[in-house]
Amino acid sequence: MKIYEESTRAEMTKPDLSAGYVYDGVIVTGRTESETEVMPGTVTVERPEGLRRFIPAQDITEPCQWYHRYTEEELAAMNQPSTLDQIEAQVIYTAMMTDTLLEG
């Protein structure tokens, strides 16, 4: 499956997963033309041209993966300590301060 850079749509061979991530998607590779066709079984003596059906143009797509490079904001958010880490740090600090006060 091909991998494309999200912003430039350029094909990539080895994306840097430490600086971003890939996700599944589709890419438009072409487009069909609109056409009119004669519906099968509608050509009769009374109506030799038959009944016609309009088929609209459609995108031709193929599955792919897109590479998203992390933004500065996303990197900053990933490096923030979690709430659990903050609580744990506060508990350790409180325990250290309490022990210091009790010893002194």
DSSP assignments along 19-63, one per residue: SEEEEEEEEEEEEPPPEEEEPTT---SS-TT--EEEE---EEEEE
The arithmetic mean of pLDDT across residues 11-38, rounded, is 94
Question: Left if phi > 0, otherwise alpha if psi is -120 to 50, otherwise beta: which for 50?
Answer: left
Q: Is the pLDDT of residue 40 over 70?
A: yes
Tokens of 17: 């997963």
Q: How confident is the model at residue 78 (pLDDT cuts 50, 70, 90)?
A: confident
Q: Which domain holds residue 43?
A: 3-103
Q: How confident is the model at residue 103 (pLDDT cuts 50, 70, 90)?
A: low
Q: How confident is the model at residue 30 (pLDDT cuts 50, 70, 90)?
A: very high
What is the domain count for the chain?
1
Tell me how far apart the alpha carbons of residues 77 and 70 are, in angstroms, rounded to a whole number: 11
Q: Is the pLDDT of residue 17 over 80?
A: yes
Q: Is the pLDDT of residue 21 over 80?
A: yes
Q: Is the pLDDT of residue 96 over 90?
A: no
Q: How confident is the model at residue 56 (pLDDT cuts 50, 70, 90)?
A: very high
